[in-house]
């Protein structure tokens, strides 16, 4: 064999191999690297994915929710890396917010947390042109950061003002919760925690125990039993969206 | 002496054409630069927010898209409904439709949060989304109107013009149905979710499209020092009057259904009475300037005969169009969502409050950039191709087409 030619061939293979290895550490998207994709599932076994046997839901007791308390809002921000400050707060992201209500006729006041209601028939999913807004088999409504084109049609369609548009570049994100400029986002029931068997951050943080999370399809779950026993309300029930979040005391 | 005068006029026209083309180009470049600036910094540099999610660029883009489908109506009246005087106007009508649709789509696309993901929009299709339908309807419009123009301008293809014209007419009705339904299917906000919106947008497109056509025709005839035949002028102005009156009827019925059927009394009170800039734009801009004064200019026995009356009427109709769309799109969003009827609500996310919206300079430039694109394309188009409507009045009269 011609030695110099062989050397150059080996040299080329070596360079190419180094290049491929280098590619592995390149960013596919901010915070997402090829090498980390393989590490995310070290066993190599296919992940189970969401099950349609489950319907995740939340029950909020407004009688226990304290006006002025925003522990759940802060817990959500910490968990999901919502730390940016904007000059115009109307442009900032709010995955969960506290709404104070007053019934002017009877002078009754109360407070409740409002977030994505995880509709069974979500208008945001219906209107999304690319399918970036989607509903998992277990009822959690999500936005795919990679196919959201930032048209904001879902924000026009959401009856709960539950969605936010990322108006500026972001830094210091939580690697488990990718967010991105120019994309729409909303409460995802802390899907990264739920998939590990944990509760959403807001539920876990509530000092009054006003928020209950669980499987609406499991008749033995606490949430299903309470909804079967006690009167609950869906916000804007007239739209017949079959919400995953129910309220008591409205 | 006469020849010298003609040469002088031609030179002046040539210079003026280049000045107009460069001006249009500069406005377009400013719009593109603004889009790049918005893309780089994010929508934080706009006046839009999480309540008013669509702003001035959408007002301009939807105007351009609706008027684009409407301006094609001039061609349809010739090809589909067999009115001969409109047939001479079909090529210009088709070209205007393509230029305005391209401009409207450019503004919508450049305003996306991720304009770089245009390819995603074209390769991921959600059949339940009206936007998704539009991804098919808009390119389809370009293709069908392109073929229609081909059948009109190439003698060999001419036998197919009726079929192409009919297809274009059906397609444009579908397209405007799609544009109206973008809002018609939105259940969340009080201003929208109405079955009235698709037909209302179609009739608005008739009025706005014909108004655009009349303004362009007036400029082209003036440029070439040709006088439009009085009978043709009368017919076209009367058609504009009919469309403007019909559009006004639909707008009124839309508000009445919202009041009496949907019971959105608080929202209607805001838009029509107490909402500051919005009632002013609605009554002063759309109703008075955009509807009543044009109808007087069109139908008053003496005023309608004044030189330029029809052109001014058409321009006022277009001004009214912007006022109406601003009220519809922005006014429809600033009003708070009614999640808890009868309750007084407040939150850190401005629940229960009427929002405000002031477009920023980049948004204004991007919006005007859409106009720049349409203006430049039309200016160059009418210069390069033979779009000038030519009326053989003698043969039209003898064949009875001036009265049919």
pLDDT at residue number B90: 92
- In the stretch 137-176 of chain A, residues with CB closer than 8 A to chain B read 146-153, 155-161, 163-169
Cβ <8 Å between A165 and B113: yes
pLDDT of residue A45: 57
**Encoded tokens for A208:** 């009054």
Which residue in B108, B343, B346, B362 has the most chain A C-beta atoms within 10 A of its own C-beta, making it the best mutation to test that interface?
Answer: B343
Q: pLDDT tier at B221 (50, 70, 90 boundaries)?
A: very high
Residue B283, pLDDT > 50, answer yes
Q: Which residues of A touch B339 (CB under 8 A)?
A: 99, 114, 159-161, 235-236
What's this model's pTM, rounded to 2 decimal places? Answer: 0.89
Q: What is the DSSP letter of A45?
A: P
The position carrying tokens 């043709």 is: B232
Nearest C-alpha of chain B: how many angstroms from A56? Answer: 23
Structure confidence at residue B384 as a pLDDT band (50, 70, 90): confident
Window 179-208 of A, Cβ < 8 Å to B: 181-184
Residues in chain A predicted with pLDDT less than 70, given as ranges, are 1-47
Q: What is the DSSP letter of A54?
A: -
The number of angstroms, rounded, from the C-alpha of B391 to the middle of its chain's C-alpha atoms is 26
For an interface test with B, the pick among A97, A153, A185 (most B C-beta atoms closer than 10 Å) comes out as A153
The alpha-helical segments, DSSP class H, found in B42-191 are 56-71, 73-79, 84-87, 90-111, 118-123, 130-153, 161-184
CA distance A210 to A231: 15
A69 inside 8 A of chain B by CB: no
Residue B13: pLDDT band with limits 50, 70, 90: confident
Report the range of poorest mean pLDDT among A123-132, B78-87, B203-212, B275-284. Answer: B78-87
Please judge whether A161 and B51 are an interchain contact, meaning their C-beta atoms are less than 8 angstroms apart.
yes
- Does residue B364 surpass a pLDDT of 50? yes
Q: State how far the Cα of A227 lies from the Cα of A222, in Å rounded to an integer.
A: 9
Dist. CA A228–CA A219, nearest whole Å: 9
Report how far residue B109's alpha carbon sits from residue B114's, in angstroms, rounded to the nearest whole number: 9
B112 touches chain A (CB under 8 A): yes
Instruction: Identify the CATH number of the domain defined by range A56-248.
Output: 3.30.70.20
Element (H, E) at B360: none
Confidence of residue B171 (pLDDT cuts 50, 70, 90): very high
Contact between chains at B188 and A159 (C-beta distance less than 8 A): yes
Position of tokens 């609605």?
B282
Phi, psi of B192 (to 5 degrees): -110, -135
Q: How large is the average pLDDT for residues B75-86?
A: 88
Check CB contact under 8 Å for A164 and B50. Answer: yes
Is the pLDDT score of B210 beyond 50? yes
Asked if A131 lies within 8 A of B124 by C-beta distance, the reply is yes
Of A37, A71, A29, A36, which Cα lies nearest the Cα of A173? A29
Domain boundaries, chain A: 3-40, 56-248
Q: Do B348 and A89 touch (CB under 8 A)?
A: yes
**Residue in B44, B49, B126 nearest the CB of A129:** B126
Mean of the pLDDT values across residues B387-401? 77
Helix (H, G, I), strand (E, B) or coil at B286: helix
CB atoms A166 and B42 under 8 Å: yes
- 3-state DSSP helix/strand/coil % of chain B, to nearest 5: 75, 0, 25
Tokens of residue A154, six digits: 């879902």
Instruction: Reduce the DSSP state of residue A245 to 3 states and report it.
Output: strand
Q: Could you tell me the maximum CA-CA distance found in chain A, to the nearest angstrom?
A: 97
List strand residue ranges (DSSP E) for B182-250, in order: none
Backbone region of residue B214 per phi and psi (left: phi > 0; alpha: psi in -120 to 50; beta: other values): alpha
Residue B251 has pLDDT above 90, yes or no: yes
The chain-wide mean pLDDT, for chain B, equals 93
CB A111, CB B72: distance < 8 Å = no
Q: Which of A18-32, B112-126, B281-295, B386-400 has the lowest mean pLDDT?
A: A18-32
3-state class (DSSP) for residue B203: helix
Q: Which residue has the higher pLDDT, B259 or A38?
A: B259
pLDDT score of B10 more than 90: no
Q: How far apart are CA B214 and CA B236, in angstroms?
A: 8
A196 neighbors A204 (Cβ within 8 angstroms): no
How many whole angstroms separate alpha carbon B204 and alpha carbon B253?
13
Cα within 13 Å of Cα(B34), Cβ side:
25
CA distances for A250 relative to A227, A233, B343, angstroms: 15, 7, 10
Q: What are phi and psi of A238, to 5 degrees?
A: -60, -25
**Distance between A93 CA and the closest CA of chain B, angstroms:** 8
Over range B297-310, report the average pLDDT: 94
Selection from B212, B204, B200, B176 nearest residue B316 by Cα? B212
The interface predicted TM-score of the complex, written ipTM, equals 0.92
What confidence category does residue B2 fall into, taking pLDDT thresholds of 50, 70 and 90? low
Condensed to tens digits (0 to 9), the pLDDT of residues B148-165 reads 999 988 889 989 999 999
As given in the structure block, the two tokens for residue A167 are 């108006």
Q: Do A169 and B42 touch (CB under 8 A)?
A: yes
| Cβ within 8 Å of residue A32, ≥6 positions away | A178
Nearest to B352 by CA among B362, B339, B366, B363: B339
Give the model's pLDDT for residue B78.
87
Residue B390 has what pLDDT?
83
Instruction: Kindly state whether B288 is in contact with chain A, defined as any CB-CB distance less than 8 angstroms.
Output: no
Contact A127 B113 (CB under 8 A): no
- Alpha helix stretches (DSSP H) within A41-190: 71-80, 123-127, 153-157
User: For residues B148 and B158, what is the distance between their CA atoms, to the nearest angstrom?
Assistant: 9
């Amino acid at each position: 064999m011609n030695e110099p030619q062989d050397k150059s061939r080996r040299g080329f293979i070596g360079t190419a191999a180094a290049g491929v290895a280098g590619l592995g550490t390149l960013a596919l998207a901010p915070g997402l690297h090829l090498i980390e994709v393989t590490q995310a599932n070290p066993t190599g076994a296919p992940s189970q994915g969401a099950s349609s046997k489950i319907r995740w839901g939340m029950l909020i007791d407004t009688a226990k929710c304290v006006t002025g308390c925003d522990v759940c809002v802060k817990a959500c921000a910490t968990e999901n890396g919502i730390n940016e400050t904007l000059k115009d707060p109307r442009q900032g992201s709010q995955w969960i917010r506290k709404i104070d209500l007053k019934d002017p006729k009877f002078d009754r006041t109360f407070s409740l947390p409002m977030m994505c209601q995880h509709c069974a028939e979500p208008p945001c999913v219906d209107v999304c042109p690319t399918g970036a807004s989607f509903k998992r088999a277990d009822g959690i409504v999500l936005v795919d950061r990679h196919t959201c084109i930032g048209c904001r049609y879902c924000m026009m369609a959401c009856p709960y003002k539950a969605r936010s548009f990322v108006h500026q570049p972001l830094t210091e994100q939580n690697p488990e919760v990718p967010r991105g400029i120019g994309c729409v986002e909303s409460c995802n029931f802390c899907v990264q925690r739920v998939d590990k068997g944990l509760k959403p951050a807001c539920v876990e943080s509530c000092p009054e125990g006003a928020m209950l999370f669980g499987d609406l399809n499991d008749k033995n779950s606490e949430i299903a039993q309470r909804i079967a026993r006690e009167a609950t309300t869906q916000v804007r029930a007239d739209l017949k969206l079959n919400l995953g979040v129910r309220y008591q005391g409205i | 002496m006469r020849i010298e005068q003609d040469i002088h006029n031609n030179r002046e026209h040539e210079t003026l054409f280049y000045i107009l083309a460069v001006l249009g180009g500069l406005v377009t470049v400013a719009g593109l630069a603004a889009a790049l600036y918005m893309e780089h910094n994010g929508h934080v540099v706009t006046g839009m927010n999480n309540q008013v999610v669509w702003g001035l660029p959408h007002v301009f883009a939807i105007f351009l898209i609706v008027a684009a489908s409407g301006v094609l109506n001039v061609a349809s009246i010739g090809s589909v409904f067999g009115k001969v005087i409109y047939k001479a106007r079909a090529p210009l009508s088709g070209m205007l439709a393509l230029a305005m649709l391209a401009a409207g789509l450019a503004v919508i696309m450049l305003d996306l949060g991720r304009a770089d993901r245009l390819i995603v929009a074209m390769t991921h299709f959600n059949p339940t989304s009206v936007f998704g339908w539009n991804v098919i309807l808009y390119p389809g419009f370009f293709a069908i109107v392109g073929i229609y123009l081909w059948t009109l301008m190439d003698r060999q293809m001419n036998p197919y013009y009726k079929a192409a014209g009919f297809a274009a007419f059906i397609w444009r009705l579908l397209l405007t149905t799609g544009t109206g339904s973008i809002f018609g299917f939105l259940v969340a906000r009080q201003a929208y979710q109405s079955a009235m919106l698709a037909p209302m947008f179609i009739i608005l497109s008739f009025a706005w499209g014909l108004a655009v056509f009349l303004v362009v025709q007036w400029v082209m005839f003036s440029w070439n020092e040709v006088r439009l035949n009085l009978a043709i002028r009368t017919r076209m102005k009367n058609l504009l009057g009919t469309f403007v009156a019909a559009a006004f009827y639909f707008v009124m019925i839309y508000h009445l259904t919202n009041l009496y059927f949907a019971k959105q009394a608080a929202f209607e009170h805001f838009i029509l009475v107490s909402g500051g800039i919005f009632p002013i734009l609605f009554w002063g801009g759309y109703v008075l300037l955009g509807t009543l004064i044009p109808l007087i200019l069109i139908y008053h026995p003496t005023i309608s005969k004044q030189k330029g009356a029809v052109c001014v009427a058409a321009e006022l109709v277009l001004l009214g169009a912007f006022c109406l769309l601003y009220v519809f799109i922005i006014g429809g969003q600033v009003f708070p969502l009614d999640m808890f009827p009868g309750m007084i609500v407040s939150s850190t996310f401005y629940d229960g409050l009427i929002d405000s919206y002031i477009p920023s300079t980049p948004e204004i430039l991007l919006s005007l950039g859409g106009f720049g694109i349409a203006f430049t394309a039309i200016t160059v188009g009418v210069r390069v191709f033979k779009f000038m409507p030519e009326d053989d009045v003698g043969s039209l009269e003898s064949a009875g087409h001036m009265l049919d």
